[in-house]
Amino acid sequence: MKIQLKKPSILTSIVTVLLLPGCSSTPDGAPEQSPVNIAGIPDAVPRHEPRTRAGNPESYEVLGKRYVTLKHSTGFRQRGVASWYGTKFHGRKTANGETYNMYAMTAAHKTLPIPSYVRVTNLNNQRSVVVRINDRGPFHSSRIIDLSYAAATKLGIVKTGTGYVEIEAIEAGQNSIKQTTKPIPTSKAAKTGLYLQIGAFKDKFNAHRLQQRVAQIPETQSALKVAKSPRGIFYKILVGPLTSEQQIQQMSEKLADLGIKDIRLITTD
């Protein structure tokens, strides 16, 4: 595949784009047996990184379509179809010259700066992960992001090949907790109950398994709540109650140590 650049002088800096896994229109395969526990792989942690020269041309062309690279990711949000790539490209170079690792929390995007970080939420099951953008693609009209095998597995889209998702840019130092409610005074929190929702599953077994992981944290209370929605019944795991901002932060850090970072702050009456 030939990529025509706006500035030929930077051709050598993005020669690896010629091997973009995102060019594939279908997932290329899962490993027969994973050498790692994917459930235990932590999300990517946003940090300040300079934009790489490789992978960040002002614009580039693939299959007759021109793409303009964004100068920054602040405020970026997008909904669409996510795909994934695996064994076929494992060990090959990404657009910025790094080695693609299908077990790392990374992804390819057509226009976001490299590197940048996004939270990806599967809108079918509400699972979410944070990934680092280090590649270009997918060059398929109906898809917005190409996830690593690990990220796709955690989102539950490996078997289906694709999934409808929302992606949201995250800046370094930004609070990774999803706040679904406005800040609540401690006095009201004590009455209504502040909880950290750390997962929502259609499979009750998966919910119990996450609850068992949380039990590793001493003196931590968790509860399984059954919630009905137009999409069916979900089993949610709540940690709490918590009565102060300090407790919320401390508990969030303990959960992060276990690799649990998809956290929502909620209240219950």
Residues 74 and 13 both lie in one domain:
yes
Residues 133 and 243 both lie in one domain:
no
Picking from 170, 203, 234, the residue at the C-terminal end of a domain is 170
User: Between β-strands 77-85 and 163-170, what pairing exists: parallel, antiparallel or unpaired?
Assistant: antiparallel
Look up the domain containing 151 and give its range.
4-170
List of E strands, 137-231? 143-148, 163-170, 178-179, 194-201, 222-229
- Conformational region of residue 259, where left means phi above 0, alpha means psi within -120 to 50, and beta covers everything else: left
Residues 64 and 107 both lie in one domain:
yes
Residues 199 and 151 both lie in one domain:
no
Q: Residues 182-220, buried b or exposed e (16+ Cβ, 10 A)?
A: eebeeeebeeebbbbbbbbbeeeebbeebbebbeebeee
End-to-end CA distance of the chain: 57
Picking from 148, 170, 192, the residue at the C-terminal end of a domain is 170
Residue written as tokens 């100068």?
A: 71
Residues 184 and 251 both lie in one domain:
yes
pLDDT computed for residue 268 by the predictor: 61
Q: Which token pair is 261? A: 């970072």
Picking from 136, 170, 204, the residue at the C-terminal end of a domain is 170
Residues 95 and 196 both lie in one domain:
no
pLDDT computed for residue 53 by the predictor: 85
**Are the C-beta atoms of 99 and 91 separated by less than 8 Å?**
yes
Residues 36 and 145 both lie in one domain:
yes
pLDDT computed for residue 245 by the predictor: 65
pTM over 0.75: no
Q: How many domains does the chain have?
A: 2
Q: What is the CATH number of the domain that holds 62?
A: 2.40.40.10
Residues 166 and 187 both lie in one domain:
no
Residues 71 and 151 both lie in one domain:
yes
**Which residues, in sequence order, are bridge partners of residue 117?**
132, 170
Q: What is the CATH number of the domain that holds 185?
A: 3.30.70.1070
Residues 86 and 10 both lie in one domain:
yes
Residues 148 and 232 both lie in one domain:
no
Average pLDDT for consecutive 10-residue bins of the chain (269 residues)?
Answer: 35 35 51 80 91 90 91 91 90 92 95 96 90 93 91 92 92 58 39 75 89 84 85 88 75 82 71
Residues 161 and 186 both lie in one domain:
no
